[in-house]
Chain A
Amino acid sequence: MKLDSLIPAPLRKPAKPGKGNGAKGAAPADLKTAPPERPSEAQKLGERAKEAPADVLAWVDQRTAASGFLTGMLYRKVPKGTNWFYTLGSATLFAFIVQAVTGVFLAMFYVPSATEAYASISHINNEVFLGQFVHGMHKWGATVMVILIFLHMGRTFFFGAYKYPRELNWVIGVVLLILTMTMAFTGYLLPFDQRSFWASIVGININGTGPVVGPYLSDFLRAGPELGATTLARFYAIHMLLLPGAIIALIGAHLYLVVKLGTTAPPWVHAEKPKNAAPVAQLDAGAEGNGGPTR
């Protein structure tokens, strides 16, 4: 409760039913008793300063009504047995945020031109302050994100968390997986060294082996019959404009469904039977006796 008083009122955990509304303030004082001493100006100012953060939040809340959503999201119930495996999704999200942030800073130095890309990367690595560190975070972070997204998918699969009513979230997750792989593929070309050049050629040629549409897909990816100057610009645009937007939008939908539907208990946790549970058949009979559901 002490900790609760530090949190501004709009974001405070809602009181449990039947426990009174202590958080909402005390009952009005008895008017017949002597009025308390008037506080000094300094005290008033101090009081007002203490209230300032809550006032700001209240100002925003009155105009957005966001506190209901936020308390509902932040204090939502999770099932018994929730464990560390449930953090893999958040870990993937965190990896994505790291990629987004480091990517923005890399873009400040990177030149998406076939003749200058390699030089700009080596400039980042060798001359820019902490450049190698930021580039390294982006490069290894990509691998970490791919590993985490697969672990997250494995957790969902083995815990059976893809079943009704969460199928759509599984589908969104699969699309996110594909987008992440596309992200990794398009990002691989950007340093434009021998490894990325040949890896992209092999990757595009694997695309091309798809019957009928494959050859055209390859031409689309390369912007021509050969890997050329526009290929790099194309990959760069896909990597940092097209895919991040799509991924952010789908992460939003993914998280909305997670909050809306709640998470599942691990398969080894079973629902407890209520002590005075009435048999199901009896309940049904009762409903029919009342003339069916009235709505």
Chain B
Amino acid sequence: MADEADKRNGTEATPRERAKPNPPGYFEGESMTRRRAFTVAAQGVGGIAGAAIILPAVGFAVAPIFHRGKERWEAVGPLDDFVEDTYRQVVFTETEGIADAGKTLAYVRKGSKQLGEDPNEFIAISNRCAHLGCPVRYVEAAGNFICPCHGGVYDFVGKVLGGPPVRPLDRFQTRIRGGQVEVGPRYSVTSQLEPVRARDPGEFTGGIWEYLYPPRPSTFPPP
């Protein structure tokens, strides 16, 4: 131990000498050697200086996790454009600042009474596959959504029929403003189509999965 050497101060000390009350190398009446006091002080100051640089830098890098952007609504067409028995593709901007890459596609239809939906509501289903985020396509003839990447298949309301997807297709909030249908923030649904906060593809929803894949602060609350 370095402390032992300090107490002895370079001299070969017998145990009796070491036990004397005020050994050389110590402050008057203190229990710490000068060397140790300075080591602790220098390391403490260095640690504070290092943390003062590293913590803000790390915070800067991870801040987007806790930041929620502005809610964005975009008109996609007059009410008459949409019917209840098939979908119509609409393209709108989901992320600003990255030109065409920020655009996304939704399949929009009117609420259907036969499916137990409010006929005054509009349903906007995201084309983002719930497996790994590839773009799905609505196939009119089959009445299904089909993903080209790994063969995920969804039924008319977006529930999983087959393939690797872990939950139904995401949806967008909709509202009517000035005779136009507007689509807004994205949200995810459970297998029973209950709305939850938006999850990334590949993440399960509902039940215990709500805790294993916790909602992110950067997403909007579900409708």
B14-22, B43-51, B63-71, B80-88 - interface stretch:
B63-71
CA distance A84 to B132 in the complex (A): 42
Asked if residues A226 and B94 are in contact (CB atoms below 8 Å), the reply is: yes
Contact of B203 among A115, A214, A230 (CB under 8 A): A214
Contact, CB under 8 Å: A220 / B200: no
Nearest A-chain residue to B219, judged by Cβ:
A225
Task: Report Cα–Cα, A115/B97, bound state, in Å.
Answer: 8
A202-B101 in contact (CB<8A): no
- Contacting residues, chain A, for B110 (C-beta < 8 A): none
Instruction: Give the residues in chain A near B212, CB-CB below 8 Å.
Output: 211-212
Within A97-115, the residues touching B (CB, 8 Å) are 114-115
B214–A215 CB distance below 8 A: yes
Also in contact, A216 and B133, with CB within 8 A (given A114-B97, A228-B102, A229-B97): no
Chain A residues closer than 8 Å to B132, beta-carbon distance: 201-202, 205-206
Find B133's partner among A115, A205, A220 (CB 8 Å cutoff).
A205
Chain A residue at minimum C-beta to C-beta distance from B63: A223
Q: How many residues of A contact B (CB 8 A)?
A: 30
Contact of B213 among A192, A211, A220, A222 (CB under 8 A): A211
Query: Does A79 make an interface contact (CB < 8 A)?
Result: no
Does B202 reach chain A (CB closer than 8 Å)? yes
Cβ–Cβ contact A228 & B98, under 8 A: yes
Beta-carbon contacts under 8 Å, B67-105 to A = 67-69, 94-99, 101-102
Known: A205-B132, A226-B94. A220 touches B201 (CB 8 A): no
Q: Is the CB of A228 within 8 A of B95?
A: yes
Known: A205-B200, A215-B213. A220 touches B61 (CB 8 A): yes
A3 to chain B, nearest CB (A): 51
Report A181-194 CB contacts with B as 1/0, cut-off 8 Å: 00000000000100
A52 to B201, CA, bound (A): 67
Instruction: State how many angstroms separate the Cβ of A201 from the closest Cβ of chain B.
Output: 5
6 closest A-B pairs by beta carbon, nearest first, are: A114-B98, A229-B97, A208-B200, A223-B64, A209-B202, A225-B218
Residues on B facing A (Cβ under 8 Å):
61-62, 64-65, 67-69, 94-99, 101-102, 132-134, 149, 198-203, 212-216, 218-219
6 CB contacts below 8 A, A to B, read: A114-B98, A205-B132, A215-B213, A219-B64, A226-B95, A228-B96
